[in-house]
Amino acid sequence: MVNLKSIFPTITAFIAFIITLCCVFAGTQKNMLDSVNLLTLYTPEGNSSSSSTSPAHTFYSVHVMSYCQGTLGPVDPSATDLYSSRNVTDCSKRTILFAFNPTAAWSENITHGPDLEWPRVISDDFHAFRMTSRAMAVLYIIGVGAVGSVLLVNAVSMAISRAQYGVFEFGFLVLGALSISIASIIATVLAFEFVALINAHGEGSNVAARYGDKFLGMTWASTGLLLVGSLVSFMNMFVRDEYVLEEPAPAPSKDEEEG
């Protein structure tokens, strides 16, 4: 019979591994989980005044290792969310030490027109946070490697049943949980504080930003799974049951009773 307690850390590690991979590799190709982004920057397109249905916008979807860009629309003027229709045109090449630079992301042939007075301070905001973004990406990569090592250790343990793998499982789980927890904290700060900063500096210039709620939900789900898995792995390694059921003593034989 399978002991659920012993395999529970492996189950949590496997699910967290898949979720974290989706967070890390989202947006590295066109239409590959492009909605799972850290934040999205919206800028008005140069020819927006010629649109007869609603203002056309260009968006830049910022991910962990890349960014995607595209246009919004056409959007129903009666819609409550003007950002609901997104057409992704292309994505940048993925790189581990990725930091989004909005001005460098614009194509040379795009003219934003008089509707956009790009606040230089927003470019400075992205420049100031570039090292934070890169550190976050590195932490996610470390976390993926650690959680992947947990799965590898458990695979080896199945092949070599006598191998003592519990310490390695616990160590890699702790490393993965710590790395992804810190990365998730950084992502949350960027999603709320940094997005609020961009919106404040972009007010009046038709520049806006929105944080990615899907990304935050997924990264914190992965963090929670790894923390629980680490706790159960610790219990499996270092906590013993206080009550051990002992086999009942054999009944005395007839000769022993007479003696």
Q: Residue 57 has what pLDDT? A: 60
In this structure, is residue 240 part of a structural domain?
no
Tell me the one-letter amino acid at 34: D
Q: How do residues 27-43 score in pLDDT, each as one tens digit?
A: 887 777 778 899 988 87
Among 34-38, 203-207, 211-215, 247-251, the range scoring the smallest mean pLDDT is 247-251
pLDDT at 242 over 50: no
Read off the pLDDT of each residue in 147-160 and give the average, rounded to a whole number. 85
- How high does pLDDT run on average in the chain? 78
In this structure, is residue 45 part of a structural domain?
yes
- When pLDDT is cut at 50, 70 and 90, the band that residue 153 belongs to is confident
Q: How do residues 96-122 score in pLDDT, each as one tens digit?
A: 888 888 777 765 444 344 445 566 777
For residue 110, the enclosing domain spans 4-229
In this structure, is residue 8 part of a structural domain?
yes
In this structure, is residue 241 part of a structural domain?
no
DSSP state, 190?
I
Read off the pLDDT of each residue in 40-57 and give the average, rounded to a whole number. 59
Q: Residue 215 has what pLDDT? A: 93
Among 43-52, 174-183, 221-230, the range scoring the smallest mean pLDDT is 43-52
In this structure, is residue 250 part of a structural domain?
no
Rounded to whole angstroms, the Cα distance separating 55 from 45 reads: 8
pLDDT at 26 over 80: yes
In this structure, is residue 69 part of a structural domain?
yes
pLDDT at 77 over 80: no
Q: Residue 107 has what pLDDT? A: 52
In this structure, is residue 244 part of a structural domain?
no
In this structure, is residue 72 part of a structural domain?
yes
pLDDT above 70 as % of the chain: 74
How far, CA to CA in Å, does 99 sit from each of 94, 133, 136, 138, 242? Answer: 11, 6, 10, 12, 52
| Count of structural domains within the chain | 1
Q: Residue 223 has what pLDDT? A: 95
Angle at 11 between CA 159 and CA 94, to 5 degrees: 95
How far, CA to CA in Å, does 197 sit from each of 7, 15, 104, 135, 163? Answer: 44, 34, 20, 20, 52
Q: Residue 92 has what pLDDT? A: 85
Q: Residue 119 has what pLDDT? A: 64
- Whether the CB-CB separation of 46 and 57 falls below 8 Å is answered with no
- Whether the CB-CB separation of 69 and 105 falls below 8 Å is answered with yes
Q: Is 126 helix (H, G, I), strand (E, B) or coil?
A: helix
Q: Residue 123 has what pLDDT? A: 76
Tokens encoding 51: 């649109």
